[in-house]
């Protein structure tokens, strides 16, 4: 799943720290680009 959401630069660390505390893995991929997924989930898409 892909979506866009602009977060104010001052709120980024608050948001991503909250994601990690909620049990999500946060990966920084580039300038203001992040991948957020459940911890330990290598592939979040359902295979058929």
* Domain assignment of residue 47, yes or no: no
pLDDT digits (tens, 9 = 90+) for 16-40: 899 999 999 999 898 878 889 998 7
pTM, to two decimals: 0.62
**Residue 35 CA: distances (Å) to CA of 26, 38, 48:** 6, 10, 23
**Tally of structural domains, the chain:** 1
- Angle (CA) 42 44 48, round 5°: 110
Indicate whether 15 belongs to any domain: yes
| pLDDT exceeds cutoff 70 at 43 | no
Q: Which domain holds residue 24?
A: 9-38
Scan for tokens 């001052």, then name that residue.
Answer: 10
Does 3 map to a domain? no
The answer to whether position 4 is within a domain reads no
């Amino acid at each position: 799943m892909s979506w866009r959401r602009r977060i104010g630069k001052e709120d980024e660390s608050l948001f991503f720290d909250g994601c990690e505390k909620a049990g999500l893995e946060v990966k920084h991929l580039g300038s203001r680009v992040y991948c957020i997924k459940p911890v330990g989930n290598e592939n979040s898409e359902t295979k058929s």
